[in-house]
Amino acid sequence: MIDRTTLVVLAALALATTAARAQPAPCLDNADALGTARMLAVDAATLPRVGRKHFPQTLPLAPKEVVLTFDDGPEPAATPRVLDALKHECVQASFFLLGRSALAHPELVRRERAEGHSIAHHTFSHPLLDRMRVAAAQAEIDRGFAAVDTALYGSPQHAPKTPFFRFPGFASSPALLDFLERRGIVVFGADLWASDWNPMTPEQELKLVLGRLEASRGGIVLFHDTKRQTAAMLPAFLRALRNGGYRVVHVVPAASSTATISR
Ligand SMILES: [Zn+2]
């Protein structure tokens, strides 16, 4: 028979285990690393859409907290350098993958996952979904989910493992936003971006994004890990976060995430 004291101890142990799971992994290789400050579980039930560039709401971040996001990969010419920079500073990011690129380079997707990053979704082939028929747009989104999870797990999952999605070109529509919300999928916009779709030197991009970060006092930052200029800039950017007192927050799916397939 379990007495009251044993129950209290067991409850404390369970709490400690939960807390340990929610903590970023310690950084063993670089004592001076930026490091991931905390993890933030995000659930569509409470936060269906985030990012002030397009939605009224964003993540519950404190001033100077930053969420790093990378779109359009993986891309062998740039993604490995991005991963190297993140690894050196012991920070985790979220990658919004194209299904076709995930199938072409599954080893890079597996590396992203092995290094603790969140593997999120960005359609199969990057069409502007608001210009398509709704059914075709939904099929494109599902094809992207299936491709990424096939690259990671060998077969499509019942629902995307990480229920985070970003619209290509931010081209959403009310019908598609409803579709994703019904399925428990969080739609990510951004609070600021590096404008790295425009050609510029890594130094120019660094200055631009740091200026925007200072103006917004943190937030969800959008980069593209397909861009060599971004990969080249990233080590200096992460150092600047460290020196400027910013804290990196890693967004992860809530354990109770309710993403479902409903066709
Ligand atoms: Zn994109």
Judged by average pLDDT, the poorest of 50-54, 170-174, 247-251, 252-256 is 252-256
Q: And the tokens for 69?
A: 């996001």
Mean pLDDT estimate for the chain: 90
Distance 87 CA to ligand 1 centre (A): 23
Angle at 240 between CA 236 and CA 226, to 5 degrees: 45
Distance 80 CA to ligand 1 centre (A): 18
Distance CA 107, CA 126 (A): 21
Regarding pTM above 0.85, the answer is yes
Distance CA 58, CA 220 (A): 8
Overall average pLDDT of the 17-44 stretch: 79
Q: And the tokens for 26?
A: 């310690």
Distance 222 CA to ligand 1 centre (A): 10
In terms of Cα–Cα distance, which of 119, 169, 114, 168 is closest to 148?
119
Q: What pLDDT does 24 receive? A: 77
Q: How much of the chain exceeds pLDDT 70, in percent?
A: 89
Cβ contacts of residue 16 below 8 Å, gap of 6+?
A: none
Distance 226 CA to ligand 1 centre (A): 10
Distance 8 CA to ligand 1 centre (A): 49
Distance 169 CA to ligand 1 centre (A): 6
Distance 37 CA to ligand 1 centre (A): 27
pLDDT tops 60 at residue 5: no
Distance 187 CA to ligand 1 centre (A): 13
b/e map 238-248, b = 16+ CB within 10 Å: bbbbbeeebbb
Angle at 95 between CA 123 and CA 211, to 5 degrees: 115
